[in-house]
Structure formats: C-alpha cells, structure tokens
Amino acid sequence: MDSAPRLELGGLPEETLKILGEWTPEDKSWKDILAVYAAAPDQERPGGLPAMAGTYRVAQGKVEFEPRFPLLPSLDYHAVLHPGNLPGASFKGPEQQAMFRLPIEEREPVTRVSAVFPSASTLPENLLKFYFHFSNSMSRGDVYAHLRLERADGTEVDLPFLELDEELWDGERRRITVFIDPGRIKRGLRPREESGPALEADQSYVLIIAAGLRDGSGLPLQEEFRTTFRVGPPDTTPPDPSLWELSLPRSGSRESLVAAFGESLDHALALRLLEVVDSEGKKVAGQSALEDHESRWTFAPSLAWSPGDYRILIPNTLEDLAGNQVGQPFDVDVFDQARPVRPERNAEIPFRIR
C-alpha cells in the first residue's frame, strides 16, 4: 500500500524548532500544538472526537506530521494549529484551521476478501462470530454498512451483528472479527425473545460483503463477496481435549504433530493459543496450521523431533464456533444447579516421541 503523506508546518522560529526537536515523535504535547481531525464530507470538525494518531518530528525547518493510517480520498481533513501553545516564544492569536482532501486517483481496485472463517458449509445455530480476511489493509468506520446476512429466499436478516463503535481489526487491518449479536443467541434475553435467533436451524443463508467497502487507500473491493452456508442445531457442549485424537511424528523427523478435535474450533484462537512444550516446559518452536474446516490442528517443528516427553498446552479460553470454552458453555442456564464450572487450570495433553 502507498505510504501515508506527511503534513508540514513551516515558518516557526529557530528557538521553537530547537525545543520541538527534543520531543519524542509520539509525545502527547504535539497535539496541543498541531492536531488533525477526520470528518465526513458534509460535516464540520467533530467536537469531542480525538485527533488522529501519528508521529511528529522536526525536519528541514518544518514540523512534519505523519498519520498512523493512510488518509482516504473519501474524507475531509481539518488541521488545527494552536499558536499560543508553541514553546520558546510568545505567540498570539486564535487557533488557525485548514481543511483539505486528497485528490482521487484513477486506479483499479486491487483488494479482495481472501478468506472467511469458520469455513465449514454447516454452522451451529448459536454461532458466535465470523473472521473476515482481506488481501490488503482496510479502512475503518463503516464495515457494518457493507455487511449483510440474507436468507435463502433473499430476505435480509434484521440486525444480526453486534455493531461496535470500535471495529475489531487486527494490527494490520487485514482481519476483522464480527460477532453475531449475543442477545440473539442467549436464551432469555429480550432481543432473542422479540426477534428470534439470528440464525435458525435447517435454514440456509448468504453472507455478503458489498464491493463498496474501501481498503486503506480508499479504493473499493474488486467485487462483492458472497458465501453460502447451512445452519445446524445449536452446539452447547464445551470442547473436551480428552477426546482429541493425536497422530504422533517419528523421532528425528520434522513431521507434523496432528490433533483431531472432532469439531470445528475458533480459527484465530486455536492458532494463537495452542502450543507444544518439552519435558522442561520450554516452548517448541514451529508452525501451526488448521485443516478440515478448523477441525484438525497440525504443528510442524522448526527442528527435528528429539525423543522425549512433550505436552500440548490448551488454555481454557479456547473456544468452539459457538463460543463454548474448555469446560464452560457460552450460554449458561443460571437456574441449572448442575451447570459446568470453568476449570481452574488450563488443560494439557502429554505425548512421547519414542
């Protein structure tokens, strides 16, 4: 993606530039001097909203501001200078504002939806979340306006997603987590009682991401994305590592250790949480992957396996597709006296390479 453009402020006295040059690039005091805000084209600078994140520095007699995320041609930007807060000299006068917008370049869209998880064709009625992966960094702020869920007959499901003000992007803004509204999942909650579950067993659905969703450079997606799935019964059984089936590698090889879960697990959590340690508790370096619609985990070591005892560590925060965690269901009946209790310790599976 293109690098972010820099905003420059010139004409400052040498004394002021010398003081500013000693500040760190992300010193919070910079925003008291020069702050940049983003707003939709028909809005004035939004009061109460934070200034854009970025880094500042003094270079070639000017103050430069580089935003953390790329500026978008679809937005207006407001740079606000507070002369009275400049150090080292006496400045007077009110704040000064400048509004600008990036020129729209004639470029072809290049970004697409690269993957959606869970990937199985049949999902539980109480599915908790989707992960959407994109081939490039994306813009933020209007994902839900471009995301919809339709039934097989083409009717749209009303408000199926938990629409958060702070969208759940990863650090590179190439993966977003979208939750089904828990109020439409958990029994006894008003949204479910009034509108029913977002997903219904024995029905088929189409998940759609409209092409108007923009990437980090302001371009729309190459094309609309659609994926179809069918809904099965709800899953209320927590994952049980004692039922996993292991396939062990040979000593002296770099063959993969394989754990078959017997069900699909949460894609991001399984890749992040599961790890292998040796008999001394040291983490074994290697590469994890998921196969068969996230129902099988493979671990390929960086070095050949040595004979000895090992363990797969399984945090109790590992989830299945319905949000059930190890030893703890997502939807708990508060009146059920025999309801499961979350294990105090994380689970583990010992194995030996002979």
Q: 126 with 331: CB under 8 angstroms?
A: yes
- pLDDT band at 78, cuts 50/70/90? confident
Is the pLDDT confidence value at 268 over 70?
yes
Q: How far apart are CA 266 and CA 129, in angstroms?
A: 9
Q: How far apart are CA 197 and CA 205, in angstroms?
A: 13
- DSSP state for residue 270 in the 8-state scheme: H
Q: In 3D, which of 334, 319, 325, 323 has the Cα closest to residue 188?
A: 334
- What's the mean per-residue pLDDT of the chain? 88
- pLDDT band at 306, cuts 50/70/90? very high
pLDDT score of 104:
64
Residue, of 167 and 69, whose pLDDT is higher: 167
Average the pLDDT over 309-320 and give the result.
97
pLDDT score of 225:
97
**Residues in Cβ contact with 192 at an 8 Å cutoff, skipping those fewer than 6 apart:** 183, 184, 185, 186
Residue, of 299 and 340, whose pLDDT is higher: 299
The string of pLDDT tens digits covering residues 209-223 is: 999 999 988 899 999
The string of pLDDT tens digits covering residues 15-63 is: 888 888 889 888 888 888 888 888 754 455 555 567 888 899 998 888 8
Average the pLDDT over 88-101 and give the result.
75
Range with the poorest average pLDDT among 93-97, 191-195, 254-258, 343-347: 191-195
Average the pLDDT over 214-238 and give the result.
94
**Range with the largest mean pLDDT of 58-62, 83-87, 92-96:** 58-62
**Residues in Cβ contact with 239 at an 8 Å cutoff, skipping those fewer than 6 apart:** 261, 263, 265, 318, 319, 320, 324, 325, 326
pLDDT score of 99:
80
The string of pLDDT tens digits covering residues 158-210 is: 999 999 989 999 999 999 999 999 888 876 677 777 778 899 999 999 999 99
Q: 128 with 323: CB under 8 angstroms?
A: yes
Proportion of the chain above pLDDT 90, given as a percent: 58
84 sits in which H/E element: none
- pLDDT band at 340, cuts 50/70/90? low
- pLDDT band at 264, cuts 50/70/90? very high
- pTM, full prediction: 0.71
Neighbours of 298 (CB within 10 A): 17
Q: 167 with 93: CB under 8 angstroms?
A: no
